[in-house]
């Protein structure tokens, strides 16, 4: 696995799941995170996803992304009070800034929702290798040609990422300064970086296509995957549990729980 990937190679129970079961599990987390406007309820899927992420070895991934999570959480807290109706006692009244209890709770719940989505997504990519993602897509019925394109792109991506980094270093060594000036000046200076990266990439498209066709590549024929297997009892248990969580969460919401 490339250094750019967030996949962590462990033997945790979630790692051993079929990618379809992991997706069902993460979808249940997403639905639970989406369902509630009350931050006390929204905190439950966030805590569950975070504990699961740490348990499967995703702490380093979380640490790497923590500035983004913190920034998005903060933006949610700042932005959402302006987009919801006030209610309850006034908590802050400093000049033009007036913040009611309802506005604060609503914003907190939305920020938690953002965090649930990021941590849930991180749980999926931490426990599911790229090859498994592609295999899972095929097994849920995504057309083979599309899966092949995704799989090939995932394999080419680290190579191009490395090439992009090398070109950047080479141009900077020649005196290219990307950190000076306004946004338009900086954008203009990126032209010498972009051309070598994508011309190198496209130069080989014809030969790669010929190589594929020489090996009998045909997008319309059914293909098999080496790691493809039916869902095990554990996979089915996770799917059933995920469906149960979704049903439970929807029932709670329809019964009036978790609302402001």
Partner 1 sequence: MREILTMWRETRMVMLVAVVAAVYAAVLIPFQTFQIIPGITSIRPANVFPVIFGIMFGPAAAWGSAIGNLIGDVFGGTFGPGSAGGFVGNFFFGLVGYKLWGNLRPLSSGVEPDFREAAGRQAAEYVIIAVTASAACAAIIAWVVDLLGLVPFAVLGPLILTNNALAAVVLGPPLLYLTYPRLKELGLLYPDVLREEDLSEGNAGVSTTLAWVLVVAPLAWVGIGTALSADAGPELTSVAALGAVGMLVVLAATVLIGERLTGILSRT
Instruction: Supply the minimum distance, in Å, between the C-beta of residue 233 and partner 1.
Output: 28
Give which of 111, 101, 36, 39 is closest to 75, Cα–Cα: 111
CA distance 42 to 259: 10
Task: Identify which of residues 194 and 237 has a Cβ nearer to partner 1 in the complex.
Answer: 194
Task: Identify which of residues 31 and 238 has a Cβ nearer to partner 1 in the complex.
Answer: 31
With contact defined as beta carbons under 8 Å apart, do 153 and 160 qualify? no
CA distance 32 to 146: 30
CA separation, residue 221 to residues 144, 147, 148 (Å): 8, 13, 12
Instruction: Supply the minimum distance, in Å, between the C-beta of residue 258 and partner 1.
Output: 13
Instruction: Supply the minimum distance, in Å, between the C-beta of residue 178 and partner 1.
Output: 6
DSSP element (H, E) containing 93: strand 90-94
Instruction: Supply the minimum distance, in Å, between the C-beta of residue 228 and partner 1.
Output: 21
CA separation, residue 87 to residues 6, 81, 96, 257 (Å): 42, 11, 17, 18
Task: Identify which of residues 144 and 225 has a Cβ nearer to partner 1 in the complex.
Answer: 144
Task: Identify which of residues 96 and 183 has a Cβ nearer to partner 1 in the complex.
Answer: 183
Task: Identify which of residues 21 and 117 has a Cβ nearer to partner 1 in the complex.
Answer: 117
Task: Identify which of residues 216 and 230 has a Cβ nearer to partner 1 in the complex.
Answer: 216
Instruction: Supply the minimum distance, in Å, between the C-beta of residue 230 and partner 1.
Output: 25
CA distance 140 to 129: 17
CA distance 108 to 118: 16
Instruction: Supply the minimum distance, in Å, between the C-beta of residue 193 and partner 1.
Output: 7
CA distance 220 to 225: 15
């Amino acid at each position: 696995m490339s250094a750019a990937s967030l996949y962590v190679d462990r033997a945790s129970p979630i790692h051993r799941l079929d990618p379809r079961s992991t997706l069902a599990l993460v979808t249940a987390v997403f639905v639970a995170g989406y369902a509630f406007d009350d931050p006390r309820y929204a905190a439950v899927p966030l805590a569950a996803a975070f504990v699961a992420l740490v348990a499967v070895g995703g702490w380093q991934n979380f640490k790497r992304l923590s500035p983004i999570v913190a920034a998005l959480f903060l933006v949610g807290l700042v932005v959402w009070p302006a987009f919801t109706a006030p209610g309850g006692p006034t908590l802050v009244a400093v000049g033009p800034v007036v913040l009611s209890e309802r506005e604060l709770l609503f914003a907190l719940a939305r920020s938690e929702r953002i965090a649930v989505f990021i941590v849930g997504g991180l749980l999926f990519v931490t426990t599911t290798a790229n090859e498994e993602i592609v295999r899972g897509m095929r097994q849920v019925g995504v057309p083979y040609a599309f899966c092949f394109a995704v799989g090939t792109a995932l394999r080419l991506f680290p190579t191009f990422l490395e090439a992009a980094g090398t070109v950047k270093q080479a141009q900077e060594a020649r005196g290219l300064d990307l950190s000076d000036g306004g946004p338009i000046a900086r954008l203009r200076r990126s032209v010498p970086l972009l051309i070598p990266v994508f011309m190198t990439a496209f130069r080989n498209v014809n030969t790669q296509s010929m190589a594929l066709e020489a090996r009998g590549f045909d997008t319309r024929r059914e293909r098999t995957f080496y790691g493809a297997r039916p869902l095990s009892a554990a996979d089915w248990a996770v799917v059933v549990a995920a469906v149960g969580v979704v049903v439970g969460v929807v029932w709670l919401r329809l019964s009036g729980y978790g609302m402001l």
